[in-house]
Structure 1
Amino acid sequence: MHIDLHKIPQASPDDISGLDALIQAGTLNPSHIIAVLGKTEGNGCVNDFTRGFATQTLKNYLGQVLGPGAAKEIVYIMSGGTEGVLSPHLNVFTRQPSAPDAMPHWGLVMGVSRTRPFAPDEIGALAMVKTVAEAVHVALAEAGLQPEQASFVQIKCPLVQATQAEGLKRSSYQSMADSRGAAALGVALALGELGPDPMTPDMIGRNFEIYSKTASASAGVELQNCEIFVLGNAAHATGNLVIGQAVMHHALDLDAIHQAVANTGQPATQIVNIFAKAEADPRGTILGCRHTMLDDSDISHTRMSRAVVGAV
């Protein structure tokens, strides 16, 4: 398996000029694209329509290049919010069979999958946890990875809109957190990160003793199912990429970033991209000091935490 990653800056959510230039130059074969992970400049909240706008633009463009059927097979994951020094861009992953004379080595492999659509009452519930776990197993098998070899699992999951929330007693914004929590626990279940104790509905997004060290979950209004990709290192890779992973224990944990880089075995000058997921510490403190991100009524704490972690 040969995986490549093309990082392409964007001037706007509908800017595909960089992608088109790579395709026209023959640098990127569009038939090899299996996933696009993008960072858009919206607010990252319920009403962030830049994600859907970017996704629609990509689908329309690749539908013309590849045909609508082939374009729909690609996993599109748009994450909103480029606060602070973050910059809007696309990460285009390509996968192709190894050349006959290629020498396999320890390196990056990748698998993708998607779940069925979820009903509003399933989003953030145990049904979602179990369904995501099954889909993660599919992506692992496609990549040729064992669960313990997975370094990073990215999921785009749905949320419950106000018109769908009747009788569910939660806001659309709360449903984003519930959806991310259920998706992350689905990853934890698939990868064996959870213990043998049974999970109950009230644990999702509320019991911080159970979590995944590998999952990155992003919720949005632009889809009703989950789209997933799994990254890990394995001996059947023939590309030039490798992945390293570490857990940030707080939003200023620079040591964890150095550790993730060191885990690749490559110099920092060779970094293509760093994918990080964070939010404000729910305890209201960081390194023993009080923070006010959770109390700000004007700006979502997720926006503040993205700016902090992006700067780190």
Structure 2
Amino acid sequence: MMTSEADVQAKVYRLSMAHPGDLSALAELLATGELAAQEIVAVIGKTEGNGGVNDFTRGYFTDRLMHLLSGYLNETPEALARKLPCILSGGTEGVLSPHYTVLCRSAAKAGTSESNPALAIGAACSVDMPFDLVGTRDHAVMVAQTVRAAMADAGLTDPGDLHFVQVKVPCLTSGRIADLRAAGRAVPAPNAAVSMARARAAGALGVALATGEITEAQLDDAAFLADFDLYSTCASISSGVEVLCNEVIVLGMSAAWSGPLRIAHRAMEDAIDLPSVQGVFQDLGFGPGAQVCAAERARLKAIFVKCEPDQSGQIHGARHTMLNDTDIDPQRHIRGAVGGLVAGVAGETRIFVSGGAEHQGPYGGGLIAVIAEAGDPQTEGAVA
């Protein structure tokens, strides 16, 4: 995609929503000309659904988004949905606030002469996923191919420049499982819940394959949800019934991009890994205080987190009850807990916190990535 140094720059808009179909903030940006629809590469958001198989808030938002953009892009909503990733995670437990982040790229301003790497954005969608391959090795290979396409879209050639890879993968439903059985085809998961987990595993290991964190020889169906020594340090995977293909968004740093935006990420060793959370903000030049001060919060443009209840049932040697609670799903517990931890450091509640971190970061942990405007060059860490 890149043709010369610093010929493009990223723009990021984090917008609040009053309900799962509220696109009024984006509509105003488009109507006033602050943002051109042609600049939008992808959308990542948090809706106030349950995050489960039957979380239809995600599909509702996507449908509303595609209808809004179709009026500007002269394409049908159905056509746009097949090429513009809209990756949503349901569940805004605790202090988390419903919002969506619009990722854009535009021509660099005239006279740009920056040499520092800046935020780079790329996206790609695969062909529709055959349901008998969802959550399998073949699924992971397809994700890896789509990640490479998204990297090419961003002009990124070195996987080491990646900081966050967001993927949305399809899953099976009871109806899809019944159709597979009726057709005599393989059924890769016994139910929808297991299918969502296996699909996330396939997505994560597909990212790891594309980045070189694992080899094709290590990619085996038997490793899914079993060998947690295999993982990606920059993958965030969501699964849902509202998508039929694999949608991929890559965020990295590149000298071929200009502008003030930077991204950094760190792995989280567990759900209360405060040093890693504080560290990623410090990497971006925020002060060492317990919470980002009010004067600096305007620099924050997006915060993305992946987390998982530790399957051992313990955190730092003490028992947790998330896995045994039949009233509240474990993923809702962990989103609320980790969301509160990160919000306390950021001083901000519009945070994308997604559960289901199988093979995404260390076992029982996850990852955090932050986009911010460049800070003081004397204090900003190396994030290239």
For the 8 Å contact 2:118–2:260, the answer to whether it is kept is yes
Does the 8 Å contact 1:84/1:307 carry over to 2?
A: yes
5 Å-filtered alignment, 1:215-226, equals: 215-226=235-246
Question: Aligned to 1:175, what secondary structure does the other structure show?
Answer: helix
Report the Cα distance in structure 1 between the residues aligned to 2:199 and 2:266, rounded to whole angstroms.
23
Report the CA distance between 1:196 and its aligned residue.
Answer: 6.8
In structure 1, distance between residues paired with 2:286 and 2:39: 26
Kindly state the Cα deviation for residue 102 of structure 1 after the two structures are TM-superposed: 1.4
Identity over aligned pairs, percent: 38
| 1:264 and 2:284 are equivalent in the alignment | yes
Structure-to-structure mapping, 1:220-299, within 5 angstroms: 220-265=240-285, 268=292, 269=296, 270-299=299-328
Q: Does 1:308 align with 2:333?
A: no
**Alpha-carbon distance, 1:165 to partner:** 1.6
- Partner in structure 2 of residue 110 of structure 1: 121
Unaligned 5+ runs, structure 1: none
Residue 182 of structure 1 corresponds to 202
41, 46, 56: which one aligns with 2:48 = 41
Q: Within 5 Å, which residues of 2 pair with 1:129-208?
A: 129-145=140-156, 146-166=158-178, 167=181, 168=187, 170-195=190-215, 197-208=217-228
The question of whether the paired residues in 1 share the 8 Å contact of 2:198 and 2:225 is answered with yes
What residue number does 2:66 align with?
A: 59
**3-state secondary structure, aligned to 2:263:** coil
Q: Does 1:80 align with 2:90?
A: yes
| Residue 195 of structure 1: how far off its partner (Å) | 4.7
Cα distance between partner residues in 2 of 1:108 and 1:121 = 37
C-alpha deviation, 1:106, in angstroms: 1.3
Structure 2 residue aligned with 1:91, among 87, 101, 107? 101
Write the letter of the residue equivalent to 1:102.
T
How far did residue 170 of structure 1 move? 1.4
Who is 1:125 aligned against? 136
> Could you tell me how far apart the structure 1 residues matched to 2:218 and 2:33 are?
51
For the residue of structure 1 that corresponds to 2:267, the secondary structure is coil
Contact 1:129/1:182 (<8 A) preserved: yes
CA distance in 2, matches of 1:309, 1:23: 34
The alignment covers a number of residue pairs equal to 312
CA separation of 1:196 and 1:224: change in aligned 2, threshold 3 A: closer
Whether the 8 Å contact between 2:205 and 2:219 is mirrored in structure 1 is no
Amino acid at match of 2:124: S
Cα distance change of structure 1 residues 51 and 196 upon mapping to structure 2, 3 Å threshold? closer
CA contact (8 A) 1:129 1:183 kept: yes
Cα contact 1:9–1:18 (8 A) shared by 2 = yes
Unaligned runs of 5+ in 2: 1-7, 182-186, 342-384
- Matches of 2:321 and 2:70 in 1, distance apart? 45
Residues 3 and 110, structure 1, Cα contact 8 Å, conserved in 2: yes
8 Å CA contact 1:244–1:262 kept in 2: the answer is no
Structure 2 SS opposite 1:247: strand
Q: Kindly provide the CA deviation profile for residues 98-148 of structure 1, in whole angstroms up to 9, marking residues without a partner as x.
A: 234212331100110111111222111001110100111111111121111
RMSD: 1.5
Residue 196 to residue 132, structure 1, CA distance change in 2 (3 Å): closer
For 2:30, the equivalent position in structure 1 comes to 23
Distance 2:279 2:242 in 1: 35
Moved more, 41-50 or 289-298: 289-298
Structure 2: how far apart are the matches of 1:81 and 1:207? Answer: 28
SS at match of 2:253: strand
Give the whole-Å Cα distance in 1 for the aligned partners of 2:155 and 2:285. Answer: 22
Amino acid across the alignment from 1:162: S
Q: 1:23 to 1:279 in 2, by over 3 A?
A: same
1:172–1:194 distance in 2 versus 1, CA, 3 Å: same
Contact 2:37 2:73 in 1 (8 A): yes
Which whole-Å CA distance do the structure 1 matches of 2:126 and 2:216 have between them? Answer: 24
Q: Which amino acid aligns with 1:273?
A: A
CA distance, structure 2, for counterparts of residue 196 and residue 31 of structure 1: 37
Q: Distance in 1 between matches of 2:227 and 2:218?
A: 13
Q: Distance in 2 between matches of 1:136 and 1:249?
A: 25
Structure 2-normalised TM-score?
0.78
